[in-house]
């Protein structure tokens, strides 16, 4: 099975990428066996899904139950609004009902929301339970399921409450991409573009050349896209697991803007990737204002995002001052000063401290 | 200033013990200066207290504000019932209102409840804020403020939700012991006795010899008692920070029983130390049933607890089966099997797996 290893000493783990081809799948072990192999001391699991992934979560639960595990399932409403204290409390209750001990696994079956929420429950119940990520959206496959960030939202700030808690394994089944609604799939491509911009010019060029194939989820390109993104993210996380050196912060390219859009639009109105696409354009224009990149760079990023049918400016009006107020509370902000990850050329970004608010206003107001 | 160092690599920190003598205090720097020295990159702090420690929390806040810090204060109702999601949400709101960034400090001024609750908020807001522990109860000074365990309660299980998050510094001001209500003070002595039983026979003998002085909070013995307990705990935490080797679990001597009593009696009915005293007697009798210790050991532990006016059996009836049901869900349980830390001789304990429930019943029913 195609497998990537993320090397974090005692917290190292495997990311398995399962191809779509039926003949390949028939010849290889499935998820339940991966879970059992990864967690040899576990005999119980809480499988967490949402109202969209429920059928697959049920399959996972049934396979583990058939292997003799004690299992339970928790299903939360689909959508970002479920990343809240109330749904978290439901997962705690389910773990209590299951009589979870420190070997009881949490298996997150779903997109970024399910992974973040179930991951945070796993991080904090009994001060830490083993976690298996089973991402079903492109965004979760290439980004949120790898690296150990878990979170819920504060009513006024996305991901403000969370913990670092590495999964014990990640199981990426590319078959899920076939049934993903188009808007969900395209949203995930925003993070794919991000990896090209921040780390890998060659990958960016590959995406430009294969844009239609990538957009149409062709088997000729998808395994490569997912594996490349996971490897790029793993390399960053290996070098800065807890976001202390500043390196890991580059993964937040476009995200300071994006979180503000998501927060003010109301969680779930904009998909995360859509907000990131708009945020990357803001960041690129801010970099241009600061003389870090030229207009060609900005246009090239915009063309690729548009080739993936992603928005590159907000779809509705949001008040500049309110956006700024949210951005000042971003986790990356320092002492109320705005900080941004900005491109310096294709494949390279840097952290820019104390960006003047007037420049940010200019970008937000698209003057 | 008398200072202990807890050595955890990049997470090392100092525990300062401030004597009661006015002449000493006048000549040495205070808490605000300790905070500034410990957190040179911080300029903002949320001071958390409860309805009992409010005046001191206000002092701390005023001292930091006078030093130019942005500050806010959050006061939660005194009592174990405040270790809940609702109060946690209030602290998150207060941090949001303060526009907390990753350098914003959380300063926990209070007993074990405040330290656990504020510590868990610090562990999870922005995925981790610097935390200063300012324990005001004996129990918090000798136990809960050192070692990085933070938690809130699940309605059905004490400390079921939590995280490991080491403080950046601990400030133990012995003057607080002078004003502590007697029941609170005596409750803390249960943990003091625990250290003697599990790790240090010589210290146990010291407590026996000085029992009246210790009970009466005499300055001749208190600094030694607090420092010795902190050092004993620090030694354990240094060798098993995340409770993975089994060593750290010895600190839970008596606690599996105690948590069950606390849970079923209703949080706050029994003080934690009172429940621990009863739980240590249960554990000692269980060890005797298993032939690990003799009746002399059990009687000696009981005499010392009684010298500190601590309960050694439950003050009211609790149903054995309900106690067992809670104990099976203890964080230390494994696959529903009961595990206990049991004494083998004074100053030494071990983890005993798969203890037969019939023996535990015998102990609980005091037959």
pLDDT tens figures, A95-150: 999 999 999 999 999 999 999 999 999 999 999 999 999 999 999 999 999 999 99
In this structure, are strands A13-18 and A44-50 parallel, antiparallel, or unpaired?
A: unpaired
User: How many domains are contained in chain B?
Assistant: 2
Q: B52 and B173, same structural domain? A: yes
The reported pTM is 0.91
Q: Looking at residue B57, which CATH number applies to its domain?
A: 3.40.50.1970
Interface contact A334-B127, CB threshold 8 A: no
Interface contact B99-A336, CB threshold 8 A: yes
Q: B152 and B219, same structural domain? A: no
Nearest Cα to B110, choosing from B77, B151, B159? Answer: B77
Residue of A nearest to B158 (CA): A126
Q: B340 and B196, same structural domain? A: yes
Which candidate from B149, B157, B163 shows the least CB-CB separation from A124? B163
Q: What is the pLDDT of residues B100-123, one digit of tens each?
A: 999 999 999 999 999 999 999 999
pLDDT at B335: 65
Nearest Cα to B130, choosing from B109, B106, B100? Answer: B106
Q: A187 and A122, same structural domain? A: no
Q: Is B272 an active-site residue?
A: yes
Q: B200 and B297, same structural domain? A: yes
Cα of A218 to nearest chain B Cα, Å: 37
pLDDT band at B24 (very low <50, low <70, confident <90, very high): confident
Q: What is the 3-state secondary structure (H, E, C) of A306-320?
A: HHCCCCCCCCCCCCH
Q: What is the pLDDT of residues A242-292, one digit of tens each?
A: 988 889 999 999 999 998 998 888 767 889 999 999 999 999 999 999 999
Q: A132 and A223, same structural domain? A: no
Q: What is the pLDDT of residues A25-49, one digit of tens each?
A: 888 889 999 999 999 999 999 999 9
Lowest mean pLDDT among A321-335, B27-41, B294-308: A321-335
Give the residue from A129, A159, A179 where a domain finishes.
A179
Q: A204 and A62, same structural domain? A: no
Q: B97 and B195, same structural domain? A: no
Give the residue from B148, B179, B210 where a domain finishes.
B179
A336 interaction partners in chain B (CB closer than 8 Å): 99, 101
Cα of A257 to nearest chain B Cα, Å: 17
Interface contact A127-B329, CB threshold 8 A: no
A85 interaction partners in chain B (CB closer than 8 Å): 85, 88-89
**Domain limits for position A98:** 3-179
Q: Which are the catalytic amino acids of A? A: 127, 149, 191, 233, 243, 248, 252, 255, 259, 272
Q: A332 and A219, same structural domain? A: yes
Q: Is B176 an active-site residue?
A: no
Give the residue from A147, A179, A211 where a domain finishes.
A179
B160 interaction partners in chain A (CB closer than 8 Å): 92, 96, 125-126
Q: B232 and B345, same structural domain? A: yes
Interface contact A334-B161, CB threshold 8 A: no
Q: Looking at residue B354, which CATH number applies to its domain?
A: 1.20.1090.10
Interface contact B335-A163, CB threshold 8 A: no
Nearest Cα to B260, choosing from B309, B300, B318, B316? Answer: B318
Q: A300 and A232, same structural domain? A: yes
Which candidate from B103, B162, B335 shows the least CB-CB separation from A101? B335
Q: A268 and A186, same structural domain? A: yes
Q: Is B322 an active-site residue?
A: no
In this structure, are strands B131-135 and B169-173 parallel, antiparallel, or unpaired?
A: parallel
**SS3 label, residue A28:** coil
């Amino acid at each position: 099975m195609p497998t990537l290893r993320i090397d974090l000493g005692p917290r190292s783990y495997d990311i398995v990428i399962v191809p779509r081809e039926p003949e390949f799948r028939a010849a290889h072990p499935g998820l339940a066996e991966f879970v059992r192999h990864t967690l040899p001391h576990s005999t119980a699991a809480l499988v967490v899904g949402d109202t969209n992934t429920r059928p697959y979560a049920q399959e996972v639960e049934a396979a583990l139950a058939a292997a003799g595990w004690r299992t339970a399932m928790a299903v939360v409403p689909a959508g970002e609004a479920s990343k809240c204290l109330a749904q978290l409390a439901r997962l705690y209750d389910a773990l209590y009902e299951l009589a979870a001990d420190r070997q009881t696994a949490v298996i997150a079956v779903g997109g970024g929301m399910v992974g973040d929420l179930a991951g945070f429950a796993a991080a904090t119940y009994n001060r830490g339970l083993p976690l298996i990520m089973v991402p079903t959206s492109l965004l979760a496959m290439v980004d949120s399921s790898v690296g150990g960030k878990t979170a819920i939202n504060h009513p006024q700030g996305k991901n403000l409450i969370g913990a670092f808690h590495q999964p014990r394994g990640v199981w990426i089944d590319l078959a899920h991409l076939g049934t993903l609604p188009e808007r969900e799939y395209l949203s995930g491509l925003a993070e794919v573009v991000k990896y090209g911009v921040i780390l890998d010019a060659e990958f960016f060029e590959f995406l430009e050349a294969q844009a239609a194939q990538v957009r149409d989820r062709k088997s000729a390109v998808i395994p490569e896209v997912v594996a490349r993104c996971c490897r790029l993210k793993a390399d960053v996380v290996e070098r800065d697991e807890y976001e202390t050196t500043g390196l890991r912060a580059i993964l937040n390219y476009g995200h300071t803007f994006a979180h503000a859009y998501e927060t003010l639009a109301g969680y779930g109105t904009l998909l995360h990737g859509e907000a990131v696409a708009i945020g990357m354009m803001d960041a690129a224009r801010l970099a241009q204002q600061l003389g870090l990149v030229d207009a060609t760079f900005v246009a090239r990023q915009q063309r690729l995002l548009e080739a993936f049918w992603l928005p590159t400016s907000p779809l509705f009006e949001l008040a500049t001052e309110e956006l700024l107020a949210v951005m000042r509370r971003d986790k990356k902000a320092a002492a109320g000063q705005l900080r941004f990850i900005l491109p310096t050329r294709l494949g390279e970004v840097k952290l820019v401290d104390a960006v003047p608010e007037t420049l940010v206003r200019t970008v937000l107001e698209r003057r």
